[in-house]
Chain A
Amino acid sequence: MAEVEETLKRIQSQKGVQGIIIVNAEGIPIKTTLDNSSTVQYAGLIHQSVMKARSTVRDIDPQNDLTFLRIRSKKNEIMIAPDKDYFLIVIQNPSD
């Protein structure tokens, strides 16, 4: 448990990383390094995006599945590692 904390702290301190959120399969945040309102906003919206992306991949080929999602925007980049039960979301600013 303490290792989880330590690892999150270490990643948070890497340059450019703005925040880390861990969400469960229903979109409820479990652990976060951002403030509450941002977390809830990100969690809800990203959860829907991931679900849509996953269903897109699956519809094209039912045996395929989503493994990683990267949303690159003008200001930052959101990287999501989805799993069966949890998502790991990291928001970073890559030009830093």
Chain B
Amino acid sequence: MRVCVQILRQFCFNSATKRIVEIPDLQWEKSQLNRNVACRFFFIWFPDLTELKLPVSDPNPSLCVCVLLTLQWDTDPSVLQLQSDSELGRKMQRLGATKITQVDFLPREVVLYCKETQTPITGTEEEDDEEIIDLEPALESDQQEEVDNKETREGYPGRELTEEEKQQILKSEEFLSFFDCSIRVMERALAEQSDIFFDYSGRDLEDKDGELQGGSSLSLSRLFYDEHWSKHRVITCLDWSPQYPELLVASYNNNEDAPHEPDGVALVWNMKFKKNTPEYVFHCQSPVVAVGFARFHPNLVVGGTYSGQIVLWDNRSHRRTPVQRTPLSAAAHTHPVYCVNVVGTQNANNLITVSTDGRMCSWTQPISTPWDFMELVYNKSKPVAVTGMAFPTGDVNNYVVGSEEGTVYTASRHGSKAGICEMFEGHQGPVTGLSCHNAVGPVDFSHLFVTSSFDWTVKLWSTKHNKPLYSFEDNADYIYDVMWSPVHPALFAAVDGMGRLDLWNLNSDTEVPTASVTVEGASALNRVRWASGGKEVAVGDSEGRLWIYDAGELAVPHSEDWARFARTLMEIKANRGDAEEEGLVELTP
């Protein structure tokens, strides 16, 4: 780059007399100026030269030479060119505004507030001497500083950071991880708003907010909704964490109003603290239709996507994108994966995934190709379009699947009868949800399962009969999901398209739900999941809102509930037997 320098005025600093004097017509040696101008720029900017009265003095230049130059940058890479104006020194030149930078100053006086902390040094090693660092002004004189940071401030560390340094720090990896952790802690602290100074004598007693009624009804406990990530997205799946009962993960469909945002989002919410923002935000490129915590790997969240990919997120890494994902290949899934499930034990567990083309794959860690896959076909002819899958408690081999045609099948993974075993017909619409009996108690009901469907009914089945035991027909819209309570043997929850959440207690009544509530806004509820303690139930709706309801007394099982349910079952079977005799057979599709 070529620099054209035009000398306007020439001054020099006489260090003996400590005066700045002007030198008229000083002839510069080109080589000397080359070196000087290339290495250092001296600028003293006087706002108005007429105000400065310069004494005429010794014209010989002294140690420091100051020139007033204008710089014209040329794009030609070549040597410095000098232009000297012969009229200099005769008349005042108009100065143009030039950006100036200051370097090479004398160390400026900084007044410090030096109060050292007096810590007795009694043999304990002080690993961090951070207390003493800030008392020394850090003076790196080769640092560039902005002009407006020059003011000294009393009592504070003398060094300021430039904008560039700040930006650099803000982008650094360690800052981001610090920020992530401490913001989480801070948000929880901010959300806890209890007033420890409350004085009961001075004012009326107010009810503390958040006190739940805990009566014999369903009451709303929390609503989880994030402006950025939940808006305009449908909640497609929910799962509670087996390890931390206050955590739950919800997966969201794509946001049609925001095509640039990632299509698939999974948010981990925390019930324990009052903060209303998700603990973790995960996203991926394809809409997530199934999500679950990996049961034996507490840091992993598994997602099944619309494209057939299985993705794994890890909350130990600070990335929001998956740490592992399966390739899109014919060996894996090519259709949406609506069910993901981890089965097995701590030492021998597998991830089972089923997609809507009937393919079931088993995966181990790290997921790259499935070690086992199976096509679920009925009667060796047509594949089953699976919409839901459930394993009975304690069983890792046999499971139940629901299909789009409305039929339910039992199947097994291994053994002589691997694949589809039996068919259960009864629903007249696609099966949207199914749940195997979970509650463990004196009587074993693990052969029971419930299914929900678009035909407005929830049906109760037993794996021993291929016709439903009972049909619950209280709804007037598609029923989107159903789940048995994990603790109460006769209780299950169902959600439908009108925003209704129903709790059915079969020991009280089999005709109508025992408790029912409609969510605000009456948006269709897509998913329902009981918490592992059986006290709370989470429902996800089509607007991206996650409602947590407290079931209160309803959900608490009593010891006689098991025996009562066994009797209820017998009654149901007896009634069904009567109905069949009278010829009221359910129409099979």
* Residues in A lying within 8 Å of B, measured CB to CB: 1, 4, 6-7, 10-11, 14, 16-17, 22, 24-28, 30-31, 40, 43-44, 47-48, 51-52, 54-55, 58-59, 62, 68, 70, 79, 81, 83, 85-86, 88, 90, 92, 94-95
Contact = CB atoms under 8 A, between A and B. Distances in A.
B42 to A, nearest CB: 30
Contacts of B166: 30-31
Nearest to A41: B156
Give the top 7 A-B pairs by smallest Cβ distance, nearest first: A81-B182, A44-B156, A88-B182, A51-B131, A83-B178, A27-B134, A86-B178
A82 to B, nearest CB: 8
Contact of A81 (B159, B167, B171, B185): B185
B228 to A, nearest CB: 8
Given A27-B134, A88-B182, A70 B157 contact: no
Nearest to B196: A72
Contacts of B170: 1, 4, 30-31
7 contacts: A11-B190, A44-B156, A54-B131, A83-B181, A85-B174, A86-B175, A88-B183
A44 B159 CA distance: 12
Contacts of A51: 117, 130-131
Nearest to B172: A85
A48 to B, nearest CB: 8
A90 B161 contact: no
A27 B190 contact: no
Contact of A25 (B125, B130, B171, B179): B130
A79 B119 contact: no
Given A26-B133, A28-B159, 9 more contacts: A6-B228, A14-B190, A26-B159, A28-B157, A30-B166, A51-B117, A55-B131, A58-B126, A86-B178
Contact of A40 (B153, B182, B189): B153
B186 A79 contact: yes
Interface centre among B133, B175, B176 (most CB of A within 10 A): B175
A26 B189 contact: no
B161 A30 contact: yes
Given A26-B138, A30-B161, A81 B186 contact: yes
B190 A92 contact: yes
Given A27-B156, A86-B175, A59 B119 contact: yes
A95 B182 contact: no
Contacts of A62: 124-125
B193 interface: yes
A94 B193 contact: yes
Nearest to B131: A51
B87 interface: no
B189 A68 contact: yes
B169 interface: yes
Contact of A26 (B134, B155, B181, B195): B134
Interface string B147-177: 0000001011101110000110111001110
Interface of B: 113, 115, 117, 119, 124-126, 130-131, 133-134, 138, 153, 155-157, 159-161, 166-167, 169-171, 174-176, 178-179, 181-183, 185-187, 189-190, 193, 195, 228, 277
Contact of A10 (B117, B176, B277): B277
Contacts of A86: 175, 178-179, 182
B133 to A, nearest CB: 6
A93 to B, nearest CB: 11
Contacts of A83: 178, 181-182
Contacts of A6: 228
A14 B81 CA distance: 60
Given A25-B133, A55-B117, A70 B178 contact: no
Nearest to A24: B169
A22 to B, nearest CB: 8
Contacts of A24: 161, 169
Given A1-B170, A85-B174, A94-B195, A17 B190 contact: yes
Contacts of B155: 44
Contact of B178 (A16, A28, A85): A85
A64 to B, nearest CB: 12
Nearest to A1: B171
Contacts of A70: 189
A48 B117 CA distance: 9
B343 to A, nearest CB: 36
A4 B119 contact: no
Contacts of A27: 134, 156-157
B22 to A, nearest CB: 39
Contact of A88 (B153, B159, B167, B186): B186
Contacts of B115: 48
Contacts of B171: 1
Contacts of B159: 26, 28
A40 B159 CA distance: 12
A6 B229 CA distance: 13
Contacts of B157: 26-28, 44
Contacts of B119: 55, 59
A16 B190 CA distance: 9
A5 to B, nearest CB: 9
A4 B179 contact: yes
B121 to A, nearest CB: 11
Nearest to B122: A59
A68 B185 contact: yes
A47 B134 contact: yes
A54 B186 CA distance: 18
Interface centre among B160, B167, B170 (most CB of A within 10 A): B170
Given A30-B169, A51-B117, A11 B195 contact: no
Contacts of B169: 24, 30
A92 to B, nearest CB: 6
A37 B186 CA distance: 24
Contacts of A14: 190
Contacts of B138: 26
Contacts of A95: 195
Contacts of A11: 183, 186-187, 190
